Structure 1
Amino acid sequence: MKEFSTAKMDETTKMITIIVLLFLILFPISSFFFEPPKPAISIVSFILMYGVIFISYGFIPKRIAVSTDQILIKNLFGSVVINIKEIETFGTLDKIGLNLRTAGVGGLFGYFGYFNGKDVWYVTNTKKKVKMILNSGKVYMISPENPDDFVKEVQKRKNELG
């Protein structure tokens, strides 16, 4: 099994993350100083906003691995296994284009979840992306640190499988 590290955040994603984190961290703290005091709102906002940070961070792929016949994408909440035989087309992408986030995270630590209806993204760097389209039409987008090496490894395994 060959391991691939997740790509470090690109500049745009870093900026979005910093701005959103500042808001998510500072707003709940500042709400304790509102006049008149509303402790229930302060506590609820604290729980919700810190929960958003934790959940978003949990979606970052901690492990991307290619075995003889599968690709594993693992984050804090579970694993996604893609059978290499089921991949119809795959390759690196230079541009991200316009995409609609339908469910998930759109910038805080990366882009995770469902985009464009059914595309599943695990992207931390929009400049280092690999798009995989399965025979079923389902699309997976990931961002390993070395996308070209990842594509070569998957191609090698795909050729070995026939």
Structure 2
Amino acid sequence: MKEFQTAKMDDRTKIITIIVLLFLIFFPISSFFFEPPKPMVSMTSFVIMYGVIFISYGFIPKRIVVSYNQILVKNIYGSVVININEIETFDKIEKTGFNLRTFGVGGLFGYFGYFNGRDVWYVTNIHKKVKITLKSGKIYMISPENPDDFVKEVQQRRTEMV
């Protein structure tokens, strides 16, 4: 079993994170000073916006592990298990391109959730992505700190299983 670090945020993701965090932190605080005071609106915006921060932070992959027959992507909410024998194609992707966020987080701490319809992303650095396409057609996109070593490790496991 080999563990890989999640990639550190790229510059664009850092900038988006800083801007969104500033808004999400300071808007609810400033709403307490609106005239006329609306405490219910202020408290609701406080709970929602701070909730967005904590929920988004929880999606950051804490561990990416390659075992003999599985890839495990673990975050606070649980684990995603990808069976190596179900992988059809496996590629390192460096280009960013246009991606449509279907449902998920698009820049705050990274890119997590559904993109381009069915693709499942756990990406913290858009320049260090690995695209995993399963035989079922499902696509996972993850971002280990060293994608080349990750690809080599998974390729080695795939050849051992054959």
TM interval, shorter chain, is over 0.9
When the two chains are superposed, the root-mean-square deviation of aligned CA atoms in Å is 0.4
Percentage of matched positions with identical amino acids: 77
Report the TM-score, using the length of structure 2 for normalisation. 0.99
Tell me the CA shift for residue 109 of structure 1.
0.2
1:100 and 1:153 mapped to 2: Cα distance?
A: 30
Tell me the CA shift for residue 102 of structure 1.
0.5
Runs of 4+ residues over 6 Å off in structure 1: none
Determine the structure 1 residue equivalent to 2:29.
29
Tell me the CA shift for residue 91 of structure 1.
1.4
Tell me the CA shift for residue 96 of structure 1.
1.9
2:102 and 2:91 mapped to 1: Cα distance?
A: 23
Q: How many residues align?
A: 162
1:105 and 1:72 mapped to 2: Cα distance?
A: 20
Describe how 1:75-154 pairs up with structure 2 within 5 A.
75-154=75-154
**Residue identity matched to 1:80:** V
Q: Could you tell me which runs of 5 or more consecutive residues in structure 2 were left unpaired when the two chains were aligned.
A: none
User: What secondary structure sits across from 1:120 in the alignment?
Assistant: strand
Cα offsets for 1:40-91 (capped at 9, x unmatched)? 0000000000000001000000010000000000001110000000000011
User: What secondary structure sits across from 1:109 in the alignment?
Assistant: coil
Describe how 1:68-79 pairs up with structure 2 within 5 A.
68-79=68-79
Determine the structure 2 residue equivalent to 1:53.
53
User: What secondary structure sits across from 1:74 in the alignment?
Assistant: strand
Report the TM-score, using the length of structure 1 for normalisation. 0.99
1:122 and 1:96 mapped to 2: Cα distance?
A: 15
Q: Could you tell me which runs of 5 or more consecutive residues in structure 1 were left unpaired when the two chains were aligned.
A: none
Determine the structure 2 residue equivalent to 1:19.
19
